[in-house]
């Protein structure tokens, strides 16, 4: 985990270390005086994404991808999901305390990966950021599958008085999921909307589904985290039916590029089509209509 934290974090004092290694500038013979052989990276809006004077200091994306690919994530997931020494998966033997440890570890891993989303949040590292987003989604999928197995095998811990009852563990899973979504939304301009459409929404509580649905309507808000902390499911239901809010969302939807719009609408469809025994018909109706 320490090695992963080093990779995800900004390199301290790299600019000072590299300052005496600045490459000589190549001049062209053209009358325009422009440099040749230089590429300009732009974001989806066509704006330049980095400073030409300092871009040479930045790490190469291929190097970062190569390093990340060497981390044994498969073995890591097997370990924290409780695979035994023979590689046998026995989710039915997970205790409430172990389930809580899984949530805690998954949260730590997501937070580490989220540092990488913030550190490399530029067009230069688009593919690397997508790999980080994939790891966040994969973490949630593994934990979600394990949580579903746990719920089906541990009905005896449904009492609200138990320190790790199903109700309390469900809250922990919901909050883990919410934090991961907020991290992904911070880097949505780099193509991470795709991962929002592939998240495992089926194991979330009904209240969290309402909250996430509302948050995705307000993804461009500058105070998204504060909004998440204050908004209640009842408020979400009321605002999602407000004509003024719906009109504002339509304007936001038309401002998105085609691929982002498709991923967002696919996300809504996935949220409505989850295989649940307690289907919230009102929630499905709001999404469809």
Q: At how many degrees (to 10) do helices 96-119 and 126-153 cross? A: 170
CA 79, CA 84: separation in Å to the nearest integer? 8
Coil/strand/helix, residue 42: strand
Residue 184 pLDDT exceeds 70: yes
Residue 15 pLDDT exceeds 80: no
Segment of 104-113, 235-244, 247-256 carrying the highest mean pLDDT: 104-113
Residue 123 in tokens: 């067009």
Quote the pTM value: 0.82
Angle value at C-alpha 250, between 252 and 187, nearest 5 degrees: 30
SS3 content of the chain, % helix, strand, coil (to 5): 65, 0, 35
Please state, for a pLDDT cut of 90, what percent of the chain lies above it: 30
**Among 188, 184, 95, 173, which residue's Cα sits nearest to residue 141?**
173
Coil/strand/helix, residue 280: coil
The torsion angle over the Cα atoms of residues 278, 104, 112 and 202, rounded to 10 degrees, is -10
- The model's pLDDT over 38-60, given as tens digits with 9 standing for 90+, comes to 666 565 555 555 555 566 677 88
Angle value at C-alpha 250, between 181 and 203, nearest 5 degrees: 30
8 A C-beta contact, residue 176 and residue 143: yes
- The model's pLDDT over 121-180, given as tens digits with 9 standing for 90+, comes to 888 888 999 999 999 999 999 999 999 999 988 775 555 556 788 889 999 999 999 999
Phi-psi region of 38 (alpha: psi -120 to 50; beta: other; left: phi over 0): beta
């Amino acid at each position: 985990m320490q090695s992963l934290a080093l990779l995800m974090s900004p390199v301290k004092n790299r600019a000072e270390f590299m300052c005496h290694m600045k490459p000589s500038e190549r001049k062209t013979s053209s009358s325009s005086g422009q440099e040749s052989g230089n590429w300009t990276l732009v974001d989806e809006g066509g704006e330049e994404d980095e400073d030409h004077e300092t871009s040479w200091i930045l790490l190469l994306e291929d190097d970062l991808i190569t390093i990340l690919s060497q981390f044994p994530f498969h073995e890591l997931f097997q370990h924290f999901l409780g695979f035994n020494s023979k590689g046998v998966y026995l989710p039915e033997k997970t205790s409430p305390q172990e389930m809580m440890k899984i949530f805690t570890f998954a949260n730590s891993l997501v937070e580490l990966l989220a540092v990488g989303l913030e550190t490399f949040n530029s067009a230069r590292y688009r593919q690397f950021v997508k790999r980080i987003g994939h790891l966040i989604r994969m973490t949630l999928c593994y934990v979600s599958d394990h949580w579903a197995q746990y719920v089906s095998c541990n009905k005896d811990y449904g009492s609200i008085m138990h320190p790790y009852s199903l109700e309390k563990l469900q809250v922990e899973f919901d909050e883990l999921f919410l934090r991961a979504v907020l991290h992904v939304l911070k880097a949505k301009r780099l193509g991470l909307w795709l991962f929002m459409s592939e998240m495992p929404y089926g194991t979330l509580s009904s209240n969290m589904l309402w909250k996430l649905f509302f948050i995705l309507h307000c993804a461009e808000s500058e105070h998204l985290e504060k909004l998440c902390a204050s908004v209640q499911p009842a408020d979400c239901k009321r605002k999602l039916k407000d004509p003024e809010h719906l009109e504002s969302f339509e304007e936001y939807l038309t401002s998105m590029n085609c691929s982002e719009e498709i991923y967002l609408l696919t996300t809504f469809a996935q949220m409505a089509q989850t295989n649940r025994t307690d289907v919230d018909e009102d929630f499905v109706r709001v999404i469809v209509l």
